[in-house]
Chain A
Amino acid sequence: MSTESSLAPFSRRNWLKSLALASLANPKLFASPAAHFAPRAKRIIWLTQAGAPSQLDLFDHKPGLASQFDKDLPNSVRGEQRLTGMTAGQKRFPIAPSVFKFAQHGQSGMWLSELLPHTSKFADEICLIRSLHTEAINHDPAMTLLQTGHQIGGRPAFGAWVSYGLGSDNADLPAFVALISRPSGPTNAQPLHERMWGSGFLPSKYQGVRMSSGKDPVLFLSNPPGITTERRRAMLDDVAALNRLKLADYHDPETQARIDQYEMAFRMQSAVPDLADLSKEPADIYERYGPESKKPGTYAANCILARRLAERGVRFIQLYHRGWDQHNNLPSGIKSQCHDTDQPTAALLAELKERGMLDDTLVIWGGEFGRTVYSQGVLTRDNHGRDHHPRCYSVWMAGASVKGGHVHGETDDFSYNIVKDPVHIHDLNATALHLLGLDHTRLTYRFQGRDYRLTDIHGNVIQNLVA
């Protein structure tokens, strides 16, 4: 008697023709979800860099800082900014210029760090936002805000909203898939949380399905030992036969929905391993994505998987790479993270472009907040750390007609405050929904008497990001 199955078995039954007519009278009852206006993007690949990558060492070039080494960050810059408990007790806030070199890339001359040699080749495809900001200063609330538009858990993830708003494009696969990788280096990896791809108060069928590298890419996908596909099929035929007897007796539409879901489960058992089996990829693919791509479960392997999911019509593909939390030993830590992510990210962009899919795929790369210009802990010429910094940070988008080779927003000389075109996380989310053809103010769900949105009561579409 659930209200949540989208199927109407009664409509197939003559004896209940009247109900079928009722459903026709109200087309909204069984209508498939649809966009509010013509979309630019059919899907999103969100390359989430968990732990907060340093904008100062990757995207936000501050050449003036070289002469400021170990000088105190002026109080006028820091203002009333709250600090985490990790650096609140520091007596000094010594400036730590990036130890990495920046250069200009592409026709656009975008400044990017030497840590991103591969991504840099796509400078003219990338729309770099240097002025993103958030309120949260600790990982869990910040990641939850980025994913759900609210710092405290309980609301649906971005992907769940999209799944709810647009439904699935593939009858054999979920609409929202999450892929997680751990860093190859010895960095402390920030934990994640199932809620980050959860459906919050939306019905749970919209929740993200976590795909893993193990025996079961999707939970409980494999038959137990001794049960072959043929045996499973025979057993499912028995289940269906008995369920049909039940349906004929009780006429509960939910029973028909169950029969259909069991069939989809069976189809997933062949569709998902086929999807997750990277062994059939040609050898040069592994060269493009780098050596890590042969190891299942790495970010590089997940990038290949992301492309395969995109090809099969999965709407929201969210990668999480953990390990960007460089409170200390930033130079070696961030180098290792870029080793994990730079080449595969670029290879994914290249492949999407070659296959003509970059036109309708929105790729987003970024974390939950930025990092401080001042050093956390001891500062030397070749080593330092950086604390959390919510006031400004950088993310980039590519594909789906966002402006390539474009830099949006500007920070001050210390990458501490935004001086031009601030973009809040709600604005980023509103813009991403806009590209999917969804008006963020109209994509609502009523819960506890209130119409909730991904962007809460905030958010503006940043038209200037779109070509």
Chain B
Amino acid sequence: MLFRLCLLSFTTLAGAAELSFNRDIRPILSDNCFYCHGPDKNNRKGDLRLDVREELIKLGPQTLIERIHTTDADDLMPPAESHKKLSAKQKDTLKQWIAEGAKYEPHWAFVPPVKSKAGKSIDDFIRAELKKHGLQPAPKASRETLMRRIALDLTGLPPKASDDDDLNDFIDQLLQSPHYGEHMAVGWLDAARFADTNGYQVDRDRELWPWRDWVIKAFNTNLPFDQFTIEQLAGDLLPNATLDQKIATGFHRNHMLNEEGGIIAEEFLAEYTADRVETTAAVWMGQTFNCCRCHDHKFDPFAQRDFYAMKAFFHNVPEKGVGIYGNPVRTNAPPFVKLPAPELEAKITALNAKLKPVEDKLRGLAAGDLEPWAKKLVATKIDWQPLEPQKATGGDNPPQITDKAVLIGPQETRANNIVIKAKLPAGKITALRLECSTTAPSASFQWSELKMGKTKLHPIDATHASVLDNDRKTRSVLSVAPNKPVQALFEFEKPLEGPEVEITIGVENAGGPSQWRLFATTTPTDVVAPASIVTIAQKEHAKRNAAERKQLADFRLSQMPEHRRLSEEAASLKKQIAAAEAEIPTTLVMEEQKEMRPTFILMRGAYDKPGEKVIAATPAVLPALAADLPRNRLGLAKWLVSRENPLTARVIVNRFWQHFFGTGLVRTSEDFGSQGEQPSHPELLDWLAVTFQESGWDVKKLVKMIVTSETYQQSSRFSVRNAQLDPMNTWLSRGPRHRLSAEVIRDQALAASGLLVEKIGGPSVKPYHPPGLYEQVVAQRDNPKATYQQGSGDDLHRRSLYTYWKRSVPHPGMLLFDAPFRETCALRRSRSNTPLQALNLQNDPTYVEAARFLAQRMIQEGGASIESRLTHGFHLLLGRKPSQQELQVLAAAVERSIKDFTKDAEAAKQLLTFGEAKTDDKLPPAELAAYTTVASTLINLDETITKE
């Protein structure tokens, strides 16, 4: 607010002499008039538009002045119901503008940037502006402060420098550090809405971390920004696209994907493509295209047609509108590519090599002639001999034995085991027949298990195979009616010999009494078959239909022990192959489908109200797509980074500026439209944009130019004068000072304590996470990962950009410090200051553990005195020495705490065992606990979580 106040007073002062349409007039018109008198033809009132000079002239400029000054409530503009009101100053400004001839200018951001001759460096432009506002640059920050500022800005980690490093060398080292790419990637992940899950209701895992690795690598290898753009938007369309270039296209697969049951695919396909348009427009062009999804833009010269013409670029991906509901959790929604995984691929090749001979042999067995066997099957009379039950126990009711039958029931209501002891007939028994019958009007019987000691059984009748699986949950139902006994056949792997056998039947539920009879035979089992098979075998070959032939052939094979063994072997190999294939990492990519999917303007943005058909095109108000560029994503990408495009370079340098100064030269870094803020330093912005283009879009060069500028290297102390005249640091009368990002706060604590695992890249990890948080909101049935499976070891201490990002429950430590949800593109994070952050830094095991390890380093590496140890801790975390006053406070705390924890040894022990990582148990507990408390104090300091 104050910022605006100052701006206004300054611009008015300056404005009395020279009014600029873009600086002084457009913001007033845009905010107060364009909603009804702007580019949107459908919302235009009184057929008047004020964004075009001719229309104002037609109206008569005096009319405008009258209408904004009138006391007649009916005529007053803007009308009362708009809740807009012009201030007296604004009215005067408009009056002066009309008096000066009502000159218009095209919106500044659509005019190509030109390199001003007014300056040759960042500092030239900044100083000129400071002077205009009666300000002086602040002195250079101290060397320690600068090193920390630069290290945090370039790598997101505290400095490791020694005292004799030259600052320039130090900067070069940081630019070569692999951590540079990690830190620079974070803002791009926000922009790209990167997450590890699909979002929406089901929110299952997806696999896109290889794209994150690509981004890190791109920053580290200093891929020129134009190429960075082209590969991410259209890497797949480049000639002879490499795997890396395909992985890069994951950028536009980062949008959410709905997997909820019952959704309409078309509706969500419209969402995903709209998301791609809006994200592209925001990230590269700084334009709010979401406004023209349903209607022409109210403030900026974009039509609804422009939105759908842009959509046509992104509407040709071979994708479905819905995720694949019910598939295994690791499945990515096509299109995706597999990553090279040499070990797994070798394993799969080896397994396939084993599988082939097995399958060959199986085919060989299947090729044999059926008829001789069928004849034998029909001819063989099987001598089923009854077993004599001796004793039967178990069940809700004791089983009865009558006439060689066991009577079970009439009711069984719970999982019981019926154990039958029976005498076997003489000879080598090959197979067993169970027969279930009833005398009641009807009866049903659900059984789940059949066991005969250690004897291995195989089903002859596949209907009841599940009773052999040792799983009481899979049941088999016997529906019995009087005089219609039901049979089940089993064979023994090795023939069985008497005299007695114990049979266990697992019964789950039974309604009505059933009688069980058991029979055995010594006939070789290749000709023991259920009646249904025998019936088929009895028919002549010609009279069997195809299904019957198959049934018969399959049965013959199933009765061959050799076939059985080979089948099991093949199944096991296939399972291993499938498991290895599922382990190969994949990543989502963009592809083009061969047949162009037509694109229509959607009336009011509704997926089911298509209007006119459109073809891919760039927005009409901007320079046209060059004739030699293809009308696809590749053409669009090249257009974005072409010299003629007035937006991209400005938008990008502004966001890099924001990275270092906390605020862009255009404060609304996501909106370069007429409702966005004006650049504070328009000439500098343009100078940077053109310099960036001329350098070949060299990001490291741009970054180095910023961090070596005197503007950046100023002290961030407030002075009376700069606080008064430049409270928001708009004119950069001091260096940047603002709270660190969620990621940097955590990574810094891990690094200073020595816990940080510096591995670059790879799949996301699951660090500490408050218990229960996840489970309260996550779907239970739909998601086998309904609980948070916390990682261990290294996974707890990786850099924060590798933390598993679940869209419905992002990590609370990230959200509390203003990380976005990553559901849609975010180009600017807020920087809040809340009590929940204080609680997080005090009590999260992440920080308690880090404090303990920082304490250990103070004691082990910091010498013998309290002062030297504290100085060491201070240096590890803040990169500077403490002042005498600071030392006094902390030393008193150490002494107090040692006494305290010596008295309360139990408390010390508790504090030292919180979190997974173990500190050296030889250290005196009271001392370590005391230093842990002091380290926690350091971690919680304003300076610690602030870039200074």
Please give the residue numbers on chain A whose beta carbons come within 8 Å of chain B beta carbons, in ascending order.
Answer: 1-5, 10, 15-16, 18-19, 22-23, 25-26, 28-29, 82, 84-88, 138-140, 152-154, 180, 182, 188-195, 198, 203-205, 207, 209-210, 212, 214, 216, 218-228, 231-232, 234-235, 238-239, 241-243, 245-247, 249-252, 254-255, 257-259, 261-262, 264-265, 268-269, 387-388, 441-442, 444, 446, 448-450
Compute how far the CA of A194 lies from the CA of B831 in the bound complex, rounded to whole angstroms.
19
Check: B890 CB closer than 8 A to any chain A CB.
Answer: yes
Interface residues of B in 300-325 (CB under 8 A from A): 300
A190 CA to B202 CA, complexed, in Å: 9
Q: Please judge, given known A-B contacts A190-B201, A234-B893, A441-B83, whether A245 and B883 are in contact too, CB under 8 Å.
A: yes
Q: Are B936 and A235 in contact, CB atoms less than 8 angstroms apart?
A: yes
Give 16 A-B pairs besides A224-B845, A261-B835 with Cβ atoms closer than 8 angstroms.
A1-B663, A4-B831, A16-B724, A26-B5, A84-B264, A138-B260, A191-B777, A191-B783, A194-B808, A210-B776, A218-B836, A235-B842, A250-B718, A252-B716, A255-B946, A258-B942
Choose one: A193, A218, A224, A264; the contact of B808 (CB below 8 Å): A193
CA distance A355 to B318 in the complex (A): 61
Whether B836 lies near A29 (C-beta < 8 A) is no
- State in angstroms the CA–CA spacing of A232 and B841 once bound together: 13
B809: interface (CB < 8 Å): yes
What mask results when residues 695 to 728 of chain B are scored 1 for a CB within 8 Å of chain A, else 0? 0000000000000000000001110100110011
Q: A26-B2, A214-B772 are in contact. Are A188 and B937 (CB under 8 A)?
A: no
Are the CB atoms of B832 and A205 closer together than 8 Å? yes
Indicate if B747 sits at the interface (CB-CB under 8 A): no
- Once bound together, how far apart are the Cα atoms of A10 and B718, in whole Å? 11
Within 8 A of A (CB), among B845-885: 845, 848, 883, 885
Which 4 pairs show the lowest CB-CB distances between chains A and B? Answer: A449-B675, A226-B911, A84-B262, A226-B910
24 interchain pairs (CB within 8 A)? A2-B831, A10-B723, A16-B723, A26-B1, A26-B2, A82-B264, A190-B779, A194-B777, A203-B830, A210-B773, A220-B770, A224-B910, A224-B911, A226-B909, A227-B911, A227-B933, A235-B842, A245-B889, A250-B718, A251-B723, A252-B716, A252-B946, A261-B837, A261-B838
Give the interface segment out of B380-388, B478-486, B666-674: B666-674
CB distance from A305 to the nearest CB of B (A): 14
Q: How many angstroms between the C-alpha atoms of A129 and B777 in the bound complex?
A: 28
CB distance from B30 to the nearest CB of A (A): 8
Check if B724 sits within 8 Å of A153, measured CB to CB: no
The distance from the CB of B657 to the nearest CB of chain A, in whole angstroms, is 15
Contact B262 A449 (CB under 8 A): no
Do residues B839 and A218 form an inter-chain contact, with CB atoms below 8 A? yes
Partner of B777, one of A193, A228, A231, A265: A193
Of chain A, the residue at the smallest CB distance from B260 is A138
CB distance from B773 to the nearest CB of A (A): 7
Contacts of A188 in B (CB 8 A): 779-782
Docked-complex contact B271 and A152, CB < 8 angstroms: yes
Please give, as numbers and ranges, the residues of chain B lying within 8 Å of A268 by CB-CB distance.
Answer: 835, 839
- Asked if A250 and B716 sit within 8 Å, CB to CB, the answer is yes
Contact A255 B942 (CB under 8 A): yes
- Interface size band for B: 35 or more
Instruction: Give the residues from 732 to 779 in chain B that come closer than 8 angstroms, CB to CB, to chain A.
Output: 736-739, 770-773, 776-779
Q: Contacts of B203 on A, CB cut-off 8 Å? A: 191, 193
Which residues of B sit under 8 angstroms from A257, Cβ to Cβ?
A: 833
Task: Give the residue name and chain of the A residue nearest to B298 (CB).
Answer: A450
Complex CA–CA separation, A308 to B929 (angstroms): 38
B448 contacts the other chain (CB 8 A): no
In Å, the complex CA distance between A182 and B780 comes to 11
Chain B residues 158-186 with CB under 8 Å of chain A are none
B835 close to A250 (CB less than 8 A): no
Given A84-B262, A140-B201, A218-B839; A1-B736 close (CB under 8 Å)? yes
Tell which of A193, A239, A255 touches B940, judged by Cβ atoms closer than 8 Å. A239
Collect the chain A residues with CB atoms within 8 Å of residue B129's CB.
Answer: none
Roughly how many angstroms separate A451 CA and B941 CA in the complex, as a whole number? 37
Q: Which of B200, B663, B738 contacts A254 (CB 8 A)?
A: B738
Q: Contact at A449–B1, with CB atoms within 8 Å? A: no
Task: Give the contacts of B238-266 with A (CB-CB under 8 A).
Answer: 258, 260-264
Give A231 to B907 CA distance when docked, in angstroms.
11
Which A residue sits closest to B30, measured CB to CB?
A449
Q: Which residues of B contact A203 (CB under 8 A)?
A: 830, 832
Across the interface, do B776 and A205 meet the contact criterion of CB distance under 8 Å? Answer: no
Q: How far is the CA of A125 from the CA of B771 in the complex (A)?
A: 40
| Residue numbers in A under 8 Å from B913 (CB-CB) | 225
**Residues B832 and A4 in contact, CB atoms below 8 Å apart:** yes
How far apart are A141's CB and chain B's nearest CB, in angstroms? 8
Measured between alpha carbons, how far is A449 from B674 in the docked complex, in Å?
A: 8
Q: How distant is B44 from chain A, measured CB to nearest CB, in Å?
A: 16
B260-307 contacts to A, CB under 8 A, are 260-264, 271, 282, 288, 290-291, 298-300
Determine which of B299, B716, B723, B777 lies in contact with A180 in the assembled complex, contact meaning CB atoms within 8 Å: B777
Contact B821–A153 (Cβ < 8 Å):
yes
Nearest CB in chain A: distance from B881 CB, A: 14
Bound-complex Cα distance A231 to B934 (A): 11
Assess the B942–A243 pair: CB atoms within 8 A. Answer: yes
B466 to chain A minimum Cβ distance, whole angstroms, is: 24
User: Which of B201, B737, B900 neighbours the largest number of chain A CB atoms within 10 Å of its CB?
Assistant: B201
Is A238 within 8 A of B911, CB to CB? no
Which residues from A are CB-within-8-Å of B941? 239, 242-243, 246
B288 close to A85 (CB less than 8 A): no
Chain B 914-948 interface 0/1 with A at a Cβ cutoff of 8 Å (1 = within): 10000000000000010001101100111100101
* CA gap between A318 and B922 in the complex, in Å: 50
Contacts of A214 in B (CB 8 A): 771-772
CB-based contact A219/B833 at 8 Å = no
Task: Give the residues in chain B near A191, CB-CB below 8 Å.
Answer: 201-203, 777-779, 782-783, 808
Contact in complex: B838, A262 (CB < 8 Å): yes
The reply on B834 being an interface residue by CB < 8 A is yes
Would A85 and B778 be within 8 Å (CB), given that A195-B821, A195-B823, A235-B936 are in contact?
Answer: no
Task: Please give, as numbers and ranges, the residues of chain A lying within 8 Å of B824 by CB-CB distance.
Answer: 152-154
Q: Which of B526-534, B552-560, B645-653, B812-820 forms contacts with chain A?
A: B812-820
Does B843 sit within 8 A of A, measured CB to CB?
A: yes
Contact present for A250 and B948 (CB under 8 Å): yes
Give chain B residues whose Cβ lies under 8 Å from the Cβ of A209.
Answer: 836
Q: Contact: B738 with A2, CB < 8 Å?
A: yes
- Please tell me if the beta carbons of B839 and A220 are within 8 angstroms of each other in the complex: yes
Q: Which residues of A contact B833 (CB under 8 A)?
A: 2, 4-5, 205, 254, 257-258, 261
Nearest opposing residue in chain A for B837, CB measure:
A261
Residues of A near B815 (CB, < 8 A) are: 194, 204, 207
Closest to B83 in A: A442
Does B886 contact A245, Cβ atoms closer than 8 Å? yes
A259–B940 Cα distance when bound, in Å, is 11
Question: Known contacts being A194-B821, A219-B812, A448-B288, is A19 close to B724, with CB within 8 Å?
Answer: yes
Residues of A within 8 A of B716 (CB): 250, 252
Q: Which residue of B lies closest to A261 (CB)?
A: B835
A221:B839 contact, CB within 8 angstroms: yes
A448 (CB) vs chain B CBs: closest residue? B288
A221 to B839, CA, bound (A): 6
Flag whether B787 is at the interface (Cβ < 8 A): no
Known: A140-B258, A154-B824, A220-B836. A238 touches B890 (CB 8 A): yes
Distance (whole angstroms) from the CB of B848 to the closest CB of chain A? 5
> Of the candidates B290, B676, B835, B889, which one forms a contact with A242 in the assembled complex, judged by CB atoms under 8 Å apart?
B889
Q: What residues of B have a CB within 8 angstroms of the CB of A204 in the complex?
A: 815-816, 818, 830, 832, 834
B contact residues around A1 at 8 Å (CB): 662-663, 728-729, 736-738
Complex CA gap A25/B727 in Å reads: 15
Question: Are A18 and B262 in contact, with the CB atoms below 8 A?
Answer: no
Residues of chain A with a CB closer than 8 A to B670's CB: 448
B691 within 8 A of A: no
A224 contacts B843, CB within 8 Å?
yes
Q: Judge if B585 is at the interface, Cβ distance under 8 Å.
A: no
Give CA–CA (A87, B200) in the complex, Å.
Answer: 21
Q: Is B226 an interface residue (CB 8 A)?
A: no
